[in-house]
Structure 1
């Protein structure tokens, strides 16, 4: 009896063993299927643990002391001849990581800061934030992350500081460091291309900017070393940017007034569209070069956009693919019961093949919407960053000429201050941060827009069913028709009845009828105003989300634009850049520092009377005449520069004479 009862219990439909064997084994454990499914390739735990020949901790343990030794050795190449002149020929100088304020190595500065930014982006997800330290508890991990924020800039600063002394020893040390860093990173990526962090390819793809930057430095330093060995340093190379200052001065002095035609030529629609599209492409112009800090800011912003877009891509898309591959009929039944998936016969839950295909199609559409919105956001962000370069050039040119009101809403004195220096220091960091935040906000907005467009319009049209959007429009057609008729009626009456055109001017007429129409259409215009307010909110949100990465424009109106931290930082950055790096001022200083040609030797065999005679001065050559004229033009330009008015002797004696004046001073 016991055996029969037990067998009856096991054969009964309520046996829990059957549920465990059939339901859980066949449906719930979707990752133990014998068939090859996409989640088997995407699930990160299937990747074996990798131990490279040179681990990250060993790499940092070896390279950190070497970098410190290189810094100390190269610091003795930079001397301060003020104290202890008999010891080491002067006190060792501080080795600066590039001249970011003046015109330092542009490609090297952008590459090194890109390496630092990429390392910090990976720092957020690393289990060991500081490679030199042993694995710590989760409670102390945030403390090590704070230390790593200062460690990585110090670790990679020798890659840029080796170019500071402009010496062949520095170029050789920079080449060796760049080769060592590049070999270590490349060897690690080749031995361990896959990783269990987020996605198997995330570690490899996130290191692409680092490998490209190190490859650039590995080629750039040997090229500088070979050039320094072949040619001695010329006077132009001793002063960074001297050739650019001369070209800028030549371009300014060679400008001539162009006679423009007074007849206005109407442009076609295609010409206007072409001009608008070309405004987003930065075309270099002769005689002007974007400052180094702007180049660095644009580079780190693009790298930051790449890192954030990669993180958004590998964190969401594989998950959607896993959910789509592991979708079962039981889950489809639940979705059908909630009304999320349409079904022809929801009372029969056994046959759900059509509904399962529909759910997988929905998930595939969701994946397409996500990828499309991410691509669109990246393109818009890069287009805005390129558009900002043209605005930077226009603003700098206007400030170089003293046209302060063409850039700022009110008069500003272009001189450095405490707040301006702080803003100049944080400008490139703010640009990268604003680009990342703008990309995140754009991704959320455009993803929701793509999903709404797909599920409310595209999928119903594909399935041949009625869309909820079409149902709303169909049920509310009298309301929409009333609003359209009211708006059209107002435009027609304003053109035909309330506006009378004379020979050269227009006058208001039928004032009594105008008052009557205004009173009668007041309730209708309230509804139109509600729709206009919604559209204003939508267009303001889209505009601010797209232009959030641009610091050269304010997202607030003129009166409160100082409350915009991005635009406020940009304005103070311009003050420091113009006051300290004015090309004409630099060109004038280079001309003053230019050594005079040696005087002709005097003939000692002449008689004493002939020696006392004043010989006729030789005629000035064309080159010397052009040089003298150029110096006078520079002096004249500096004299009429309003940003330098407060620095003259008369202004120092009487601050009220030239200090508050921002216009062009008269001689």
Structure 2
């Protein structure tokens, strides 16, 4: 029988009766059975021939890597380090910055696009046999060293795509346009010539490159737009980056809005509570506030990570289960019936297995449906959780901006940067993408197992009208479940009617002797209820932590040990750096200083501080200049008083342990 089974597995495409009542005409799958007889090799990826595009990956990287290096070296002469050697060619050339992460730039799409290209390249790097396109590994052990080298190569390769914009020069915009067009044309041409690939799935290579192509298209349109604005004379390099945002934030903070009535409703209906809960998952922009660039990049990378992992899980499982379902034969069904995995009316007649064959195929189809539904549910839950984190980020940042440290952290913390804070700030976006990948994998395993258990224990027995293990347990143990239910109802009724006495303003315990007697008598029953409650606690905590695994703004551990959570630890230090280095009021104050009108020089008095020079100048310009100067001084004074980053530096707070976040006491004379 084993030989017949192996022969059936090997030659099942030659039997046309296998595919009766089977509709597999979907273009998604890689291994569809055809109507005519086909060789057995059609079921394996080797049937898709290797495609060699005109511009191979090695040729592409060999040509573009020197061009990118030449562009970044040429643009480095636009950035002068004048503090190093002022006499040497008006300063030493410096390397361009990829993006001003601690500044509020006007455009964030290019940064997200380049990081998306880099992350997609990392996903391809994990699965490629040749991780470094410039060289081929000689052995399997050498491939791991090439992967480590590729981790440094790809960031350097795509570095000029983002750094060309930070030069704020027409040459940089022109070079960025040429690089973006070159990368985009090569990627699109390669996918047009070779849309299918034998790796994992014939469409996996094409679908996994969708974020890369979209990002390159965005850069191909954005750089020419910047170049056109620069040629027209309204280029953004004449303005200080982010100055407009800081002015809007300052106006939003200083504006007075009247409140009509109470802001908190006394009694809220169930419908309004459900509506407010659903609205908490929708991020609505607020006037005068903008999410920092690093947070935007981290969330975008999490979304791309979810897409890449979901695509890999889909193409790795669904075609495989489709092959097994299409290749199921009567010989294999006989083995499954003998092991008791498939119910059979006539197990002694192995030749008549048409009904059992349809049953096995239905089981495999149910597995496929469970897998796809659980994967779709995991993607939706992860997307909703990531969307809700935007509101949490905004509330945490606004609380820290106004100095309310205890509203964000469980204990007072200093907002000054440290060594670990800088390290966590650098790795925050990477952590967010990695946690999104792992969270989706964990969710998929849990929800797939739960859906399979529900399908085979509840749905299929109800469809076929047969009994299942779950129904048997419930039927045999119904007195036990009824006793537990009665015990719960009795305790609630006694607590409501006999053990609580309602007064006008409060409730008090009564009939204490009866309460003690019932407590003692129901102790064994409550032990069994505690076992069920413990099982439910494990289930609900596992589901909650699996769904919220990708959130770094909340710890999966309780307070006191939450610092052992690496995700939450990195998020807390990330907030420290963002608030201390990118406080909008502090930046607005700096812009006010840079934009104050020129005043005649005064005799320098070393006994006065610079702030007194600004506030006690006697020669005032008439008209609008005087009004503008008064408004600027008032905003400066208000900013200095309300800036929490400066509170710990005041004389009255130097000896106070509750500085930087807590309220300061009345200064002693």
Counterpart of 2:610?
none
1:246-283 deviations in Å (ceiling 9; x for gaps): 00001111133524338944322222111111100111
- Confirm whether residue 351 of structure 1 aligns to residue 352 of structure 2: yes
Q: Return the offset for 1:570.
A: 0.3
User: SS state of the match for residue 165, structure 2?
Assistant: coil
Mapped partners of 1:617, 1:219: distance in 2: 49
Partner of 2:208: 206
The CA deviation at 1:619 is 5.0
CA offsets per residue over residues 379-409 of structure 1, 9 Å max, x none?
1011110000000000000000000000000
Residue of structure 1 in register with 2:321 after alignment: 320
Instruction: Please state if 1:462 is matched with 2:463.
Output: yes
1:630 is displaced (CA, Å) by: 5.0
Post-superposition Cα deviations, 1:26-63, rounded to whole Å, max 9, x if no partner, equal 55333566899744576311101211100000000000
Q: Work out whether residues 42 and 318 of structure 1, in 8 Å CA contact, stay in contact via their aligned partners in 2.
A: no
Q: Which of 11, 16, 20 lines up with 1:29 in the alignment?
A: 11
Instruction: Please tell me whether the aligned partners of residues 201 and 315 of structure 2 are also in contact (alpha carbons under 8 angstroms).
Output: yes
- Larger CA deviation: 87-96 vs 307-316: 87-96
1:664 deviates by: 3.5
Superposition TM-score, scaled by structure 2 size = 0.90
- Does the 8 Å CA contact 1:398/1:404 hold for their aligned counterparts? yes
Deviation at 1:135, TM superposition (A): 3.8
For residues 99 and 569 of structure 1, the distance between their equivalents in structure 2, rounded to whole angstroms, comes to 20
Q: How does 1:209-228 map to 2 (within 5 A)?
A: 209-228=211-230
C-alpha contact (below 8 Å) 2:325/2:361 kept by paired residues: yes
Superposition pairs of residues 113-152 of structure 1, within 5 angstroms = 113-152=115-154
Tell me, in whole angstroms, the C-alpha distance in 2 between the residues paired with 1:663 and 1:211. Answer: 49
Give the Cα separation in 1 of the matches to 2:335 and 2:11.
18
Q: CA deviation at 1:542?
A: 0.3
Alignment of 1:511-526 (within 5 A): 511-526=512-527
How far apart are residue 25 of structure 1 and its match?
A: 5.4
In structure 2, the residue matched to 1:109 is 111
- Residue matched to 2:535: 534
- Using the alignment, how far apart are the partners of 2:179 and 2:479 within structure 1? 74
Alpha-carbon offset, residue 629 of structure 1: 3.0
Contact 1:296–1:428 (CA under 8 A) maintained in structure 2? yes
User: Deviations for 1:532-555, whole angstroms, at most 9, x for unmatched residues?
Assistant: 000000000000000000000111
Aligned residue in 2 for 1:607? none
Shift of 1:83: 3.6
The 8 Å contact of residues 584 and 638 in structure 1, kept in 2 or not, is answered as: no
Paired with 1:359 and 1:299, the residues of 2 have a C-alpha distance of: 42
Q: How big is the shift at 1:596? A: 1.6
The normalised TM-score by structure 1 is 0.90
* CA distance, structure 2, for counterparts of residue 399 and residue 107 of structure 1: 26
SS at match of 1:596: coil
- Give the whole-Å Cα distance in 1 for the aligned partners of 2:435 and 2:376: 18
Unpaired runs of at least 5, structure 2? 25-30, 34-41, 601-617
- Counterpart mapping for 1:477-626 below 5 A: 477-596=478-597, 620-621=623-624, 625=627
Distance 1:177 1:42, change over 3 A: farther
Alpha-carbon distance between aligned partners in 2 of 1:446 and 1:638, rounded to the nearest angstrom: 53
Residue matched to 2:27: none
TM superposition shift of 1:464: 1.4
Q: Does the aligned pair in 2 maintain the 1:645–1:659 contact within 8 Å?
A: no
Q: Specify the alignment match of 2:55 in structure 1.
A: 54
Paired residue for 2:187, among 185, 188, 194?
A: 185
Give the aligned partner of residue 281 of structure 2. 280
What CA deviation, in whole Å up to 9, does each residue of 1:411-453 have, x standing for no partner?
A: 0111000010000001000000000000000000000010011
Displacement of 1:659: 7.6
Query: CA offset at residue 660 of structure 1?
Result: 4.3
Distance 1:25 1:347 in 2: 22
